[in-house]
Amino acid sequence: MAGATVRHMPDAEDVRRIALSLPDTTEKTAWSMPTFRVAGKMFATLPEEETSLAVRCPKEERDELALAEPGKFWIAAHEAQFAWVRVRLAALDDEAELRDILADSWRQAAPQRLLEAYPELGVTDGR
């Protein structure tokens, strides 16, 4: 297949690069894994040998995602009471989907001053 493009599956380095490109984001190791925080508040982690991503997600939305796309999203037992969902990096469509997931989680953790300062990050939930 001449001219065919090989699909790049997002990996941990893509997560790191995209997360750290979001305003006021830092990386910190916690629980022996990389975590990403906005203004000190965690919005993403790289568990499972960095093959998956854990992000903030409202429980109702999270449950719907896990039911609709179980190959991509799941709820870790120890996080069931929290508004977090796991994402299999290899199951993501592309880097744009990864960017959307990270930006959505960032918005949920970011303080109001950052949401107002970066409207291009698309506050979609009416906050």
Q: Is residue 4 part of a domain?
A: no
pLDDT of residue 83 exceeding 50, the answer is yes
What is the pTM for the complete model shown? 0.89
pLDDT tens per residue, range 26-69: 999 999 999 999 999 999 999 989 999 999 999 999 999 999 99
Q: Which domain holds residue 46?
A: 12-117
CATH of the domain at 91: 3.90.1150.30
23-47 burial string, b = 16+ CB within 10 Å, else e? ebbeeeeeeeebbbbbeeebbbbbb
Q: For the chain, how many structural domains are there in total?
A: 1
Helix axes of 95-109 and 12-21: crossing angle, nearest 10 degrees: 50
What integer pLDDT is reported at residue 4 of this predicted model? Answer: 54
Distances 88 to 39, 49, 114 between C-alpha atoms, Å = 26, 11, 28
Q: Is residue 24 part of a domain?
A: yes
Q: Is residue 3 part of a domain?
A: no
Q: Is residue 94 part of a domain?
A: yes
- Residue 52 and residue 89 in contact, taking contact as beta carbons nearer than 8 Å: yes
